[in-house]
Amino acid sequence: MSEVVLWQSILGEIELTVSRASFATWFKNTELLELNGSKAVVGVVNVFTKQQLQSKFNTQLLATFKKVGVPVTDISYTIHSRQPKRTFPNSGREQKAPFADTSDRPISPSLTSSTISRPPRNGGLNEKYTFETFIVGSSNELAFAASQAAARYPGTKCNPLFVYGGVGLGKTHLIQAVGNEIRHNQPDAKVLYISCETFVNDFLDHVRFKKKGFADRYRNVDVLIIDDMQFIAGKEKTQEEFFHTFNALHQENKQIIISSDKPPKSIPTLEERLRSRFEWGMSVDMQLPDFETRCAILETKASGHEVALERDTVEYIATNIQTNVRELEGALNKLLTYCEMSGNQPDVQTATGLLGNIKATRPHHVSAKQIIERTAKHFQLDAKDIMSPRRDKHIVVPRQIAMYLLRSELHLSFPRIANELGRKDHTTAIHSVEKIEKSMKLDSITRQQIASIRERIYG
């Protein structure tokens, strides 16, 4: 029996005994890499799967080996990435040893304290963003594979690497993981991660205040990672400068990594020559992770907080949050923080209580009448008072707040708002909403009042 066939039959057995989600999360992307007598080596995609299989499923796997007639007594788990499914366009250049010339490069004498600040020692990278902590599923596996290729063969395989996708889907995480991995493999490599906004601002400072060191800062690196490139849209001079930076780096086979919320062809007012360069290497998109991947992300993040969530809690959150990973993480953090403070268990009941609120904030559950009543009640008034023509101060402010809430929660038009409060003139509604908007910014009491009325409305 070949290893592939053997592993398939083992997985077939396992699939019958664990939940569908567990199987998809922990077993689907595994491989039997080696079978040597009684020793087996199983390849997994990340450290969490490794830990999980080791701690929770090892006995079961051993039993299953035995069941299918292979007497394995020792399984080791090793992290390995599956082969990228696509072949990457080769730049056609000779493959240089990456960064061979960087360690003895003199520090530019022009780089003094009066010049543009020197890149931070860690290259602007956040160490928590690694490949190991990135969960791979069908929505991001191509982006993941391309990023790994860029990390393994900087400047040659995917140059530039252009990663695009909606907000909160893991672009920053992934492109920083490339930088961290390269730094890990080549501690001397000069990696610089910046947001596009920083690049734009640096460039403006350079032009306005004649600050020196701009070109050096960006061209004397081995890896340049620029996040949120869409920010360069409409900024002609910066685009021109970036074009030169790009060429200088690319010519020397320095790795360039770019993220953006849309593909190069959809960034408005991006110069044609820059657009075509962005498309030279590899462009990959990222989508919202599917249900199984969302579950795996939640489990991983929870175990990072040393919390083991019950499967139904995980599935509850993954079902209810389908916007992006950042919100998924936000919901999890909310649950864990709440449980830590209140001493509750992070179970489905608690999650339903907390996340039910998130769902309830959708405006269509609430009527204008309810908003007016709850606002009145908060101020110990009657809805009738708020609807009356009376101009007493203790009524005017609650009335204004009610108008503000009708606008913010139900998005009613100003004439509608006036109408709901029994008024003919809608300009008062406009002024009231504006006034409360302003005091929301300046005055914490108003903020608290409105927060607690909102709680009443949705609670």
Binding site for ligand ADP (CB under 6 A): 133-135, 140, 167-173, 297, 325-326, 329
167 binds, among Mg ion, ligand ADP, none (CB under 5 to 8 A by kind): ligand ADP
The two beta strands, 31-36 and 39-44, are antiparallel
Are the C-beta atoms of residues 412 and 420 closer than 8 Å to each other?
yes
The secondary element (H helix, E strand) that includes residue 356 is: helix 348-360
134 binds, among Mg ion, ligand ADP, none (CB under 5 to 8 A by kind): ligand ADP
Tell me which residue has its CB nearest to ligand ADP: 170
Residue 276 Cβ vs ligand ADP, minimum distance, rounded to whole Å? 24
Are the C-beta atoms of residues 277 and 283 closer than 8 Å to each other?
no
169 binds, among ligand ADP, Mg ion, none (CB under 5 to 8 A by kind): ligand ADP
219 binds, among ligand ADP, Mg ion, none (CB under 5 to 8 A by kind): none
Decide whether 172 or 432 has the Cβ nearer to ligand ADP: 172
What are the beta bridge partners of residue 161?
Answer: 257, 282
Residue 84 Cβ vs Mg ion, minimum distance, rounded to whole Å? 23
Distances (CA, A) of 48 to 44, 170, 424: 9, 18, 63
Decide whether 330 or 363 has the Cβ nearer to ligand ADP: 330
Residue 165 Cβ vs ligand ADP, minimum distance, rounded to whole Å? 6
Six-digit token string for 32: 């039997």
Residue 182 Cβ vs ligand ADP, minimum distance, rounded to whole Å? 18
60 binds, among Mg ion, ligand ADP, none (CB under 5 to 8 A by kind): none
329 binds, among Mg ion, ligand ADP, none (CB under 5 to 8 A by kind): ligand ADP
Contact footprint for Mg ion (CB under 5 A) = 172
Neighbours of 55 (CB within 10 A): 8
**What span, in angstroms and rounded, lies between the C-alpha atoms of 216 and 108?**
8
326 binds, among ligand ADP, Mg ion, none (CB under 5 to 8 A by kind): ligand ADP
Residue 165 Cβ vs Mg ion, minimum distance, rounded to whole Å? 10
Decide whether 81 or 172 has the Cβ nearer to ligand ADP: 172
Decide whether 128 or 390 has the Cβ nearer to ligand ADP: 128
Residue 168 Cβ vs Mg ion, minimum distance, rounded to whole Å? 8
Six-digit token string for 404: 């503000």
Decide whether 15 or 329 has the Cβ nearer to ligand ADP: 329
Decide whether 52 or 172 has the Cβ nearer to Mg ion: 172
For 299-303, the CB contacts below 8 A with 24+ separation are 299/25, 299/48, 300/46, 300/48, 300/133, 300/135, 301/329, 301/332, 302/332, 302/336, 302/346, 303/48, 303/51
Decide whether 173 or 190 has the Cβ nearer to ligand ADP: 173
**What span, in angstroms and rounded, lies between the C-alpha atoms of 444 and 130?**
39
Residue 227 Cβ vs Mg ion, minimum distance, rounded to whole Å? 6
User: Any alpha helices (H) in 27-124, and if so which ranges?
Assistant: 47-52, 58-67
325 binds, among Mg ion, ligand ADP, none (CB under 5 to 8 A by kind): ligand ADP
Residue 455 Cβ vs Mg ion, minimum distance, rounded to whole Å? 31
**What span, in angstroms and rounded, lies between the C-alpha atoms of 80 and 44?**
6
Neighbours of 358 (CB within 10 A): 15
Name the strands in the sheet holding 223-227, side by side, starting at the edge strand that comes first in the sequence: 191-195, 223-227, 255-260, 161-165, 282-286
